[in-house]
Amino acid sequence: MSAAMSSRGYARDLLIAGYRAQVQILWSRYVLAEAEWNLQRKAPSALPTLEQFRLTLSAGIIEPSQTTIDHCATIVHSKDAPVVAAAVVGNANWLATYDRKHLLAQRAAVLDEFGITIATTDEVIDALSF
């Protein structure tokens, strides 16, 4: 959502790194739908940019099973379980988010259970140093 709303910043830099094949960007339809819903309410002028991201990075779309989502819901809030489940299915090392209330608050539990580091986009970029 942040990357679609602004042409600058860490979220946009992370997507650009994906375009340059410096990192592999993974999405789920759930994440894209949530971003679209939020942009419709908060920044509808950013919707075309989100669509461009969707088209350009469509190879990275992952769909977790309900079983995986249910398991993730035992670790994180049920609303965020599909996000974590997609990271699990995609064998992600990182899950970039600005959701401090739910996802970032559960970073230790997710790391322990799934080996996935939840971090803000600036933390991901700083850690990967590209």
Percentage of the chain exceeding pLDDT 90: 82
DSSP letter for 98, please.
-
What value does the mean pLDDT take over residues 105-130?
A: 95
- pTM of the model as a whole: 0.89
Residue 65's nearest CA partner among 77, 80, 81, 79 is 81
What value does the mean pLDDT take over residues 53-76?
A: 91
What value does the mean pLDDT take over residues 9-15?
A: 93
Percentage of the chain exceeding pLDDT 70: 99
Do residues 111 and 117 make contact, with C-beta atoms less than 8 angstroms apart? yes
Tokens representing 32? Answer: 């894209």
What value does the mean pLDDT take over residues 100-127?
A: 96
What gap in Å lies between CA 121 and CA 127, rounded to an integer? 10
pLDDT of res. 54: 85
Could you tell me the CA-to-CA distances from 111 to 34, 38, 77, 114, 122 in Å, in that order? Answer: 24, 27, 15, 5, 18
Q: What is the pLDDT of residues 68-101, one digit of tens each?
A: 999 999 999 999 999 999 999 999 999 999 999 9
